[in-house]
Amino acid sequence: MQPSSILESALYVTDLAAAEAFYADVLGLECIAKVEDRHVFFRCGQGVLLLFNAEATRKPPAAGAKLPVPPHGTTGQGHLCFAASADEIERWKTVLEAKGVIVEADFEWPPKAGEASGGRSIYFRDPAGNSLEFAEPRIWVKN
């Protein structure tokens, strides 16, 4: 057996309010759940982006908890890549720069056999320092 897709992805942040504002106001994601000082969740296409306060998620669930999710969490900068077409990447770059977000890298991946180019990526950071990317999905297409 093999999983069919990734349903949710998690990033860990130190300031939930700043992260919530960034993902809602800059990236336009819809907030679907929030627990003060613990997490904020966003819808992204068919998946969900989970933003956690790592310190809060390291604590085991209370005895008899309705949702006994095991402790988890990490520290340091993570990475997440959003799919976007070449035209969307150009528009995202304009939006990000207009909102004061620094685009750290903008490049074409090496082409795969028989292709003219490998696909474009731009990289930037959220307020917690997580590395975010918009990339053309073809960078991962099998030959």
Give me the tens of pLDDT residue by residue for the chain, a chain 143 residues long: 988 889 999 999 999 999 999 999 999 999 999 999 999 999 999 999 999 998 888 888 788 778 788 888 888 899 999 999 999 999 999 999 999 999 999 999 988 777 777 899 999 999 999 999 999 999 988 76
> What type of residue sits at position 69?
V
Q: Based on the domain organization, do 98 and 55 belong to the same domain?
A: no
What is the predicted pLDDT for the residue at 73? Answer: 83
CATH number at residue 9: 3.10.180.10
SS3 content of the chain, % helix, strand, coil (to 5): 20, 30, 45
What is the predicted pLDDT for the residue at 120? Answer: 95
What is the predicted pLDDT for the residue at 143? Answer: 63
Q: Based on the domain organization, do 48 and 85 belong to the same domain?
A: no
What is the predicted pLDDT for the residue at 52? Answer: 95
Helices (H), 1-143: 16-21, 54-57, 86-98
Q: Whole-model pTM?
A: 0.91
Q: Based on the domain organization, do 102 and 49 belong to the same domain?
A: no
CA distances from 63 to 36, 58, 69, 70 (A): 20, 15, 11, 12
Residue 124 lies in a domain: yes
Strands (E), 19-138: 30-35, 39-44, 47-53, 79-83, 105-108, 120-125, 131-135
Q: Can you give the residue range of the structural domain that contains 6?
A: 1-62
Please give the Cα distance from 10 to 108 (Å, whole number): 27
What is the predicted pLDDT for the residue at 106? Answer: 97
What is the predicted pLDDT for the residue at 68? Answer: 83
Residue 70 lies in a domain: no
Residue 34, Ramachandran bin (φ over 0: left; ψ between -120 and 50: alpha; else beta): beta
